[in-house]
Structure 1
């Protein structure tokens, strides 16, 4: 007889791991115990040598579907002669907490069957779950993951739920959120004043949606604003009340079958839609006739998700399609507290479907699309957070604060990078408060006390100001270097690479705004080998929301005062005071220089008459890409001046676009031509840098690479030329992935901390 002590680390709490160990021990006739603690799962098993070996092998190979083992350590213990195997009460050790927390998991097929089975005691119950599904991150307050550490602590299980919880053969054995209609949380339907409405809350909600109302629905990670996606009036009312003029709205479809009627769905896209994370997936539309045009106006794509919480399975039929957008007003974080919802969403929602289980941690829906048959993350949150990203290097405990827009922070521990949930725009005071609270929660949850902080060089970023106030050594990281490093971290690269960083704007080391950058970089340093030509941003930040400003500057530079005689839509749409903005730019007043690729796409959209003023970030570039869909353009002229750094100048392309419009070319054809021209210029720059350095590994990152048309063209052209091309997969290419890059750069510089 032997007795072994075993410690298992990884995602092993809240995923049915202790019941799994219990069943294994019984199967191999072993005695002992198992419990949760702050580091993972701890156990002692006693029995014959052969049985212990078989147990350990099964422990590695037969893990529960939601578990992810990071490490198993063994130690010899003294034989104690136990006569059975038991699950012990969890302990909260004084040692550092290293256990990992499972993300929230979509309702499993078995629980969905219970909800739909009229003979089951959980028929229609909107909080049904088991060890294989349900809320995790959004209900946990602290570890170890036990009921008293979650927002289920206030709900005492009835005798039937207790029997399930205590029965090893039951799939709800030690399922911490276990509940039923007798003992668990309940939904209520309220009007705007907070008064409860009579009747069945779920049935009434369904009827109110069908009647054209807008409802605020409390889910797992916060509130959604929902309406019938087929009702044009309801959709337009939601847009007006939410102050969301044009940006597409996400929808939830009741079944995969109805999604297939709306959109093209590849095998890779189906796998994402039906995965445990159940993110929003961007899909190409087949038709717009089945839903209101206002859901995704003038857009070829639709953001779609399938039901992931029991309440969604209860509310939606297989043929329903509902708008399901974040419960907030523009730029604010998602609402997750009931009183806050009634106050902040009262001018948007007609009614409120609320429940009495508190949400510990809010989580917005994640957004992905498929590129090259593989997932391509655009927003990382519910279903993925707080699982760490594994990197190839041991890092000191540090905090990377991220950027200003689409913010997410990062905390590190060993080879693990804990990227926080999607936070949003830190210029909003409520979002900034949420940001600081989330950092403190992650520090506590994972027992990480940072020894240094990494930040963006932009002095006006709220995240940068926050970082510089912390009593820690500081390491500043250049914006585009961080973009490239984030991809390197995902792929385990540290040798020099050619980095193509295209985005809106990021603070450069020369004090100008960068955004069309070609770097040679590793994880410690970079050199700027090329960039797009500097141009002024007339009006500063106004040039970002009013693309006509840069278009006017470009056309005036090309044609002087005769630009008004060109006869193209752009010059006809200029505001009356446009010349004042140009005169200010001539004098360098509020007109910073920028090499931004994002602004070049805005300029092309404005010259083509596609978009002069935007209502959401990147709208002009998005609509330019949509105009180019399915069209093969021609290569336009551009200038490539070699040197160090080399310069790409697309002014000749803008001249060609203008002349094309005057000669009757369609704006769709010219939009496609602009994409092809930018791709060709980028590839030429990479080829030149490769000839100079011998480097053949290329990385593409930055918000502009949310443009699939451009990314595909550059990717294919470089691969055809035998380059190895790396892109994001698990973190966004936009600033949502910036903190990961900051973290790995700071870790590699840590030996010589920069104050």
Structure 2
């Protein structure tokens, strides 16, 4: 009996063919397995019952890192397949570039070093002892070195390295069978240490030992990681961290810390079972963990982390080594700051010459290797959200290495025969490709006001289209999607792509920013209609004004704006996003509330008043982010965003610290005595529809008056609760109006775990079914996927 079996999913780059060959041998089958474009094709020869059992086993088991979507089985009635008449066993054959045109290919992301490789690397008797680039069929770089599919050594940047006899032998059997990154001390890329100052000692230290010595001595080292260059320093050395901040142009934003093992993390941070599962997973993401103490001690209890590492943050971005190089280094240094090797705002650097050009004269050494990295992949960043039942769920702050390019699988496919290409927004930009039942979203690229990010987006977009053979898909037309903002670089890119396409087979579509935020949640859960609540800093509205506190009634691909903050004119758009004191002054002036002393100098206030009175450079803004900034400033917590969200983060910290100090439940009624609330009025919105408007004037006036006698943290907590109560109140009215009971929460403000907790709790108590982002970032990184999902709904209607 002859059978054709096809396996679709993430089944290349993770040792799937060797797994199939071993399993087929176990079931006493003859035949072959090969990569066919983006799938695995198997021809099995043997007893029908054994073939059936073999196919069933393929559906229920697979190698670590794989994702099996479908296993199809077709018995061949014709003669024996050509070329198999001399096949006495089961073999792995050369890959084919033939592609199935009916779906987007799934390819695995880069995989962190596995436990077995780490054991080999630490075994003095193993031939890969202390080989920093050790890998196997279950771990190592994948997407960062992929030129094209199918995934074979010659289609990666490992193609320039010829295997030594030992590696060639291992390539044919065992745990490195057909491991395309197989290498060793003899034949693979080697670690090189470049040091600008010539050494005077006669020691024979390895490059890693020398780099560790420099870090412990207060120096800065460049490291070529899996997804690009990084910079490393001792977190206990204030001057070294200060120097690192100067080099990167990163003033206050907290740094992530890489630890050698879980024990070291647990000495500094609270770690739940879910957080430990994430930290030790093959992804090796950065996980935001709550600190143990106000002052964090290292394991030797002699040194504290420098104040300029994490500042006042209640959390540490902690992660474990993702490669042998990182593991060997941290074993010698202990925990170290490891941050992307770039100037803040620029993309992560992957090219050796560019990194040397920008940093060689500013740092104290570079650990690198010659294997080429094709695309930058920053470390992914995750935060755990705990709901009122203490259920833990991972939520993305940044989705990149370890997750990209895994797709979002849709329960209901997009419109048949359409290719969707979405360009996202300008901040935290990603782009997405959609077809059939999946959407592939790019890695985090950065903010597109930087020309280097713009260039990267163009290059990655072209690479993704080539790798996933978008032009070869069986499609009737292509739909190009952008944000509605006419000044966005991403909007211009979408327009350029449309202009260079066949107009007869291409459509150009703009999706409103906050609608796309909600669309990203709808896509994760295959929801067609809901009440959407999108809170963020800014987004271009259908009326040409800046939105950001949106209550939307979403049906299919359409929406109605049903509620928002009362717009406040903010003077100076760009500066207004950074200067919380400016936002606070504008809120108070627009609300006829007395401005407390010390917010701004008299001369600055005079200029703001003049600008508002004459409507000069003053733009209506209903962004929730600006309100959080204003309150943070008025409570004396933070008055300027030296990095995105700083004021809001510190406002959240103050509220959580109050809860910790008083040991109160998050939703205790004790804060109700402050009577902090938002005025809500029912006004006429667009197209004469009813719209709920939240007026902040009374709330801000009350906060200012209470500040003299009340605990600042208590007021910060009361503010969060006031927002959550307003959300509940408007949601109840919208349910009565629309009949909808599903609510989707999205937008950068909902990265605030306290606000999300309160809103989720209040809404669930009223019987709402609440959804929020889990697979996609809740910030602008999820917008491109939301654009595609909504465009798909529009095409179905």
Which category of TM-score, normalised to the shorter sequence, fits these structures?
Answer: over 0.9
**Pick aligned residue for 1:437 from 459, 468, 473:** 459
Is 2:527 the partner of 1:493?
Answer: yes
Structure 1 segment 1-400 matched on structure 2, within 5 A:
2-77=1-76, 78-79=79-80, 81=85, 82-93=87-98, 96=101, 98-167=104-173, 170-192=174-196, 199-287=205-293, 288-290=295-297, 291-317=305-331, 320-346=334-360, 348-372=362-386, 373-395=392-414, 396-400=418-422
Q: Secondary structure at the match of 2:436?
A: strand
- Asked whether the equivalents of residues 225 and 327 of structure 1 are also in contact (C-alpha less than 8 Å), the reply is yes
Offset at 1:193? 9.1
Out of 417, 425, 437, the position equivalent to 2:447 is 425
Q: How far, CA to CA, are the matches of 1:522 and 1:391 in structure 2?
A: 18
Query: Is the CA contact (8 Å cut-off) linking 2:212 and 2:333 kept in structure 1?
Result: no
Are the aligned partners of 1:9 and 1:72 in contact in 2 as well (CA < 8 Å)?
yes
Q: In 1, distance between residues paired with 2:34 and 2:591? A: 73
Q: Which of 573, 585, 609 lines up with 1:552 in the alignment?
A: 585
Conserved in 1, the CA contact under 8 Å of 2:397 and 2:778? yes
Q: Give the corresponding residue for 2:701.
A: 655
Shift, 1:196, TM fit: 14
Task: Name the residue aligned to 1:530.
Answer: 563
Between the aligned partners of 2:604 and 2:319, the Cα distance in structure 1 is: 45
- Structure 1 residue aligned with 2:645: 618
TM-score (norm 1): 0.95
CA contact 1:637–1:656 (8 Å) conserved in 2: no
Does structure 2 retain, via aligned residues, the 8 Å contact 1:188–1:196? no
State how far apart, in whole Å, the 1-side matches of 2:71 and 2:191 are.
Answer: 42
User: Normalized against structure 2, the TM-score is what?
Assistant: 0.90
Contact 2:58 2:71 in 1 (8 A): no
Secondary structure of the 1:153 match is helix
In 2, Cα distance between equivalents of 1:242 and 1:25: 53
Question: Which SS does the other structure have where 2:316 is aligned?
Answer: strand
CA drift of 1:195 comes to 11
Report whether the alignment pairs 1:696 with 2:703. no
Kindly state the Cα deviation for residue 695 of structure 1 after the two structures are TM-superposed: 1.5
Q: Distance in 2 between matches of 1:559 and 1:493?
A: 42
Gaps spanning 5+ residues in structure 2: where? 298-304, 387-391, 472-476, 499-505, 660-670, 684-689
CA distance in 2 between partners of 1:575 and 1:250 (Å): 40
Shift of 1:580: 0.8
Distance in 1 (CA, whole Å) between partners of 2:122 and 2:445 is 35
SS at match of 2:571: coil
Give me the whole-angstrom Cα distance separating, in 1, the residues matched to 2:106 and 2:772.
27
Q: Which runs of 5+ in 1 are unaligned?
A: none
RMSD: 1.9
Between the aligned partners of 2:359 and 2:412, the Cα distance in structure 1 is 45
Q: Give the SS at the match of 1:536.
A: strand
1-structure distance, mates of 2:278, 2:97: 36
Residues in 2 aligned to 1:612 and 1:320: alpha-carbon distance in whole angstroms: 36
Q: Structure 1, residues 711-737: CA drift from partner, whole Å, max 9, x if none?
A: 111111111111111010011110000
Equivalent residues of 1:238, 1:348 under 8 A apart? no
Which whole-Å deviations, capped at 9, do the CAs of 1:94-147 have from their partners, x for residues lacking one?
A: 664854211111111100100111111111111111111111111111111100
Cα distance in 1 between the residues matched to 2:602 and 2:33:
72
Correspondence for 1:474 among 503, 508, 512: 508
Match of 1:676 in 2: 721
The alignment partner of 1:171 has SS state of helix
2:302 equivalent in structure 1: none
TM alignment of 1:527-606, pairs within 5 A:
527-557=560-590, 563=595, 566-567=596-597, 569-570=598-599, 573-574=600-601, 576-606=603-633
CA contact (8 A) 1:485 1:523 kept: no
Q: Is 1:502–2:506 an aligned residue pair?
A: no
Q: In 2, Cα distance between the equivalents of 1:194 and 1:13?
A: 45
Give, in whole Å, the separation in 2 of the partners of 1:60 and 1:216.
44
Q: 1:376-419 CA distances to partner (integer Å, 9 max, x unpaired)? A: 11110000000111012322211010001000110012111000
SS at match of 1:103: coil
Residues 38 and 107 in structure 2, CA contact (< 8 A), matched pair in contact too? no
**2: CA distance, partners of 1:83 / 1:255:** 47
1:320 deviates by: 1.2
3-state DSSP class of the match of 1:451?
strand
Which has the larger displacement, 687-696 or 113-122? Answer: 687-696
Partner of 2:730: 685
Determine which of 470, 477, 484 is the counterpart of 2:518: 484
1:532, 1:595 within 8 Å by CA — same for their partners in 2? yes
Q: Distance in 2 between matches of 1:72 and 1:193?
A: 58
CA distance in 1, matches of 2:147, 2:652: 43
User: 1:638 maps to what in 2?
Assistant: 678
CA contact (8 A) 2:5 2:55 kept: no
2:222 & 2:591 partners in 1: Cα distance? 51
User: Is this contact kept in 1: 2:38–2:149, CA < 8 A?
Assistant: no
CA offset digits 1:205-262 (Å, max 9, x no partner):
1111111111110010001111011222211111122111111111101111111111
8 Å contact kept, 2:109–2:404: yes
Q: Report the Cα distance in structure 2 between the residues aligned to 1:393 and 1:746, rounded to whole angstroms.
A: 14
